[in-house]
Structure 1
Amino acid sequence: MAKYDFFTCWQFKAPIEDVYRAISRPVGWPQWWKGLQQVEALGSGSEQGKGLGNEQAGSREYRYHWQSPLGYSLCFDIRVMRLYAPWLIVGEARGDVEGWGCWQLSETAGVTRVRYRWRVRTTQPWMNLVAPLARPLFVWSHDVMMRNGALGLSRLLQAPLLERGRLPGDSLR
């Protein structure tokens, strides 16, 4: 399996609660995130975290259907493992990709910083077969999809996007 470790950072001139509300409700993402075809709720957990015990988080599960800029599709489920509103969402992925993702939010002086780490491996045989040559294209595709998310969220929040991209010094494997 081909492994990927992505880091993304967005900054919006918006309150953390507004940014968190949009990110924590993935069923609504296709309305503003270009490339995301559909999100289905598979579990019926609470919309809010419960703190350290976090009993409700594990029951939140979603199926994501993505269409990449390169034309291939990805379908995977994410089960929310940790949820500390409005600062952290951690989920475990399985399907066409397996691994985990983590949204971290912080706010300073009315600017919310969103850091996202996506550490996954591909499970589709064709992707694993072509990964040694196609890795740069898969990385580019991921970057385009994340850029689309940043721009869409900026429009939804009606808040300027102040920063977008990989974090300085971060690596892709």
Structure 2
Amino acid sequence: MSVTAFELVSYWRIAAPLDRVWAEIVDVDAWPSWWRAVRKVERLRDGDIEGIGAVRRITWATALPYTITFDVESTRSEPMYQLEGRATGELNGVGVWTLTSDGDITTVRYDWRVDLGKAWMRAFAPILRPAFAWNHNVLMGWGEADLKTRLGLG
């Protein structure tokens, strides 16, 4: 694997029914209202009735002193189970949300296979690779905590 490529997996465990968690994950436009790392979501293109083909430009504030912006096109949706998007721009790759439930507990798995697109990130990847992975984990941890708060669980 290239030093600029990452395969990251995050797990959230949410004490809420799957339908409530799914509704928040698929409503990307609302992420800035509850996920502290998401600064802005711009709708660039609507998708079909299931959202396939929709494109959002998402700007993230990170735990490190930089922001990152990339476009995400929805490429696959299996309602109440899986959502996939292809990122292009300052990050390039594929992200897959997979949700499963056991009663009122929903497990969210996020697989992020991505390559760095920003020139400075690519240049410093050999040194900063662990920091970039740590940063991703912090952002995802915020997402889990913030979603729990949004759902009245925090």
TM-score category (smaller protein): over 0.9
Q: Is the 8 A contact 2:17 2:103 kept in 1?
A: no
How many residue pairs get aligned? The number is 152
Paired residue for 2:23?
21
Q: CA offsets per residue over residues 17-39 of structure 1, 9 Å max, x none?
A: 10000000111111111121101
Where in structure 2 are the equivalents of 1:94-109 lying within 5 Å? Answer: 94-109=88-103
**Aligned counterpart, 1:43:** 45
Q: How far off is 1:109 after superposition?
A: 1.4
Following TM superposition, by how much is the alpha carbon of 1:15 offset from its aligned partner in structure 2, in angstroms?
0.8
Deviation at 1:13, TM superposition (A): 1.0
Q: Give per-residue Cα distances to partners, 1:67-105, cap 9 Å, x unaligned.
A: 111111111000000011111100000000000000000
Please show how residues 152-171 of structure 1 align to structure 2 within 5 Å.
152-159=146-153
User: For residue 42 of structure 1, what is the amino acid of its counterpart?
Assistant: L
Identical-pair percentage: 32
Partner of 2:78: 84
| Greater relative contact order (CA < 8 Å, ≥ 6 in sequence) | 1
Report whether the alignment pairs 1:133 with 2:127. yes
Secondary structure of 1:106's aligned partner:
strand
> Cα RMSD (Å) of the superposition?
1.3
Q: Give ranges in structure 1 of 5+ residues lacking alignment.
A: 50-55, 161-173
- Is the counterpart of residue 123 in structure 1 residue 123 in structure 2? no
Q: Does 1:111 align with 2:105?
A: yes
Amino acid of the structure 1 residue aligned with 2:7: D
TM superposition score normalised by structure 1: 0.84
1:148 equivalent in alignment to 2:136 = no
